[in-house]
Amino acid sequence: LRAIKRFGRTLWRRWSGYHRRSRVETKMNCMKLLGQKLMSRDFDRQTAELQVRIAILNRFTALGIPVTQPVG
């Protein structure tokens, strides 16, 4: 809190890496929404299951990013 008061919130976020941490927490919450538990018992299958979940999240993220094109 002292750093925020002294340097300002924007500089503190950049200095502490708050933005990156916040984005990671948001993505982890999205991972949990796809399922709390892993269904597979085998480690290799658990790895594959997580990779599928990550691929789904990446696809959702890609669908949400607007495509901009120059006009003129």
Q: What confidence tens digit (pLDDT) does each residue in 2-46 have? A: 877 888 887 777 778 777 888 888 888 888 888 878 888 999 999
The pLDDT assigned to 42 comes to 92
Total number of domains in the chain: 1
SS (H, E, C) 53-69: HHHHHHHHHHHHCCCCC
d(CA 50, CA 42): 12
Tell me how crowded residue 66 is: count the other CB atoms within 10 A of its CB: 4
8 domain residue, yes or no: yes
Q: Would you say residue 34 lies in a domain?
A: yes
Residue 59 belongs to a domain:
yes
Q: What is the pTM of this model?
A: 0.59
Residue 56 lies in a domain: yes
Domain housing 16: 1-64
Assigned domain for 5 exists? yes
- How many beta carbons lie within 10 A of that of residue 53, not counting itself? 17
Given this model, what pLDDT does residue 44 score?
Answer: 94
* Domain-embedded: residue 16: yes
Q: Is residue 69 part of a domain?
A: no
